[in-house]
Structure 1
Amino acid sequence: MPKDPTIAIRDCLAEIAVLHEIEARTTLHAFRNDPIVRRAAAYAIQTISEAVRRIPDDWLADFPTEPWGQIKAIGNRIRHEYFRVDDAILWEIITTDTHALKTVMEAMLARHAGDGPTPTS
């Protein structure tokens, strides 16, 4: 049975909440100097990236203003080019991009809350 895509949306929202907590607790300067918080943020962004890959393309197409390709790609970049990921880019994602993404994910979840897979007889 295919997984319910709303699980991926909820995963995104949970990781966005982590990122917003990081934003509330720190500044860019402190973020740059705290390897634990940077790793937590990178992991949360990777998780969002992976979860978005599990949302059907037609659901994503309903929200064409979101940079879905970039969201999907950032996880690979963090995993494979971790040494080249700029803290300022992570901070921008945390402080700007996730706020819009949260609104989109909440709207997507509301739209598809009853669209999960149906059990087979």
Structure 2
Amino acid sequence: MSRTPQQRLQDILEAIDAIDRADVVLRAHDPGDEIALVALDAIQYRIMTIGEAVKALPPSLRNDHPDVPWSDIARMRDLIGHHYYRLDAQIVRATIQAPIAQLRATCQAALDAG
């Protein structure tokens, strides 16, 4: 059975919360430290989850919120999935911070609106 748009929005919010938790761990450790690498893996996995959920949202929902970089978010998922060997932790963190905050606000507002 397919997930509803509301379920997908909730999935996105849960993934963002997990990214926030993993980012705290990542910042607390040296980049090459095993714990930092596990935290980065967790962040990348959650970005992939977000990208899949974003791709499955109805176009009408995405069109109602043109300020969110939907296609960039989906492309980041594809980059992680297909070009994992080119990833740099600093670049991943820098490129997701503003879009993730914007995505969180939009998803929460869409859920609140019903």
TM-score grouping bracket, smaller chain normalisation: 0.7 to 0.9
TM-score relative to the length of structure 1: 0.81
Distance across 2 between alignment mates of 1:72 and 1:35: 23
Q: What percentage of aligned pairs have identical amino acids?
A: 26
TM-score relative to the length of structure 2: 0.85
The structure with higher relative contact order (CA 8 Å, sep 6+) is 1
More helix per residue: 1 or 2? 2
Give the number of aligned pairs: 111
Q: Which has the larger radius of gyration?
A: 1
> Partner amino acid for 1:3?
R
Unaligned runs of at least 5 residues, structure 1: 114-121
For residue 98 of structure 1, report the CA deviation from its aligned partner.
Answer: 1.5
Q: Which position in structure 2 is the counterpart of 1:32?
A: 31
Bigger shift: 93-102 or 54-63? 93-102
For residue 12 of structure 1, report the CA deviation from its aligned partner.
Answer: 0.2
Q: Which position in structure 2 is the counterpart of 1:52?
A: 54
Q: Which position in structure 1 is the counterpart of 2:7?
A: 7
CA deviations on 1:22-65 (whole Å, 9 max, x unpaired) are 233442x7363221111000000000000011110110111111
